[in-house]
Amino acid sequence: MGKWCRVKCSCSNRRPLPGSDISNYSDYLKSIKKPRLAKTEQEWKEKVRSVFECGHRSGNAVEFWPGDIISLGQALEIAFRSTPQEFGIFRRIADPENYDDELLKKSSDESAAWLLETQILNEFIRGETYLGWHPKIVLDREIEQYGFLYGNLDDVISSVEMLCRASLTNGTSIEFLL
């Protein structure tokens, strides 16, 4: 679950480069008037396809597959079932009910709150903040069962921090797409 997440950049020249909207290489070749000036497929993938004038691919400061973040949110939902106030942002992102037309937007104000949540989660995992023994045991068990596809729990938390910081820096939302 979870197809993509992104934070749009706020660069003043956030405009697609001419021809960057062409999504396959053969169409790109057809669009080039002087074939000898055409880029190789590799160059086209790196420097033309989806590239914006500001240099951000698709105009996004950050974008990646958020499946591991959603798995973590589901684990927190199970671990803290009886205390709905804990880790509310993680849990809302993991619940498709909260998506509107397969999209969930978190404003940059919420990014500050989410950063705080990741800090508390870090402390909880390390045993520096006590939020109950039972949730800790359940969370450890759930995380063990899921296994993350890209790295470990620290990597997942870092990826959340990266989203939040990009959102705060650019003043743009974090968007999740189902």
What residues make contact with Zn ion under the rule CB under 5 A?
9, 11, 14, 54, 56
- Looking at beta carbons only, is 59 or 135 nearer to Zn ion? 59
Q: How many CB atoms lie within 10 A of CB 145?
A: 10
Strand stretches in the chain, DSSP E = 4-8, 60-64, 103-106, 174-177
3-state secondary structure 42-72: HHHHHHCCCEECCCCECCEEEEECCHHHHHH
- Looking at beta carbons only, is 14 or 92 nearer to Zn ion? 14
Closest distance of CB 115 from Zn ion, Å: 22
CA–CA dist 69, 32 (Å, integer)? 41
Closest distance of CB 42 from Zn ion, Å: 23
Closest distance of CB 12 from Zn ion, Å: 9
CA–CA dist 150, 79 (Å, integer)? 22
- Looking at beta carbons only, is 14 or 39 nearer to Zn ion? 14
CA–CA dist 38, 170 (Å, integer)? 34
- Looking at beta carbons only, is 63 or 86 nearer to Zn ion? 63
Say how many residues make up the chain: 178
Closest distance of CB 68 from Zn ion, Å: 25
- Looking at beta carbons only, is 93 or 166 nearer to Zn ion? 166
Closest distance of CB 15 from Zn ion, Å: 9
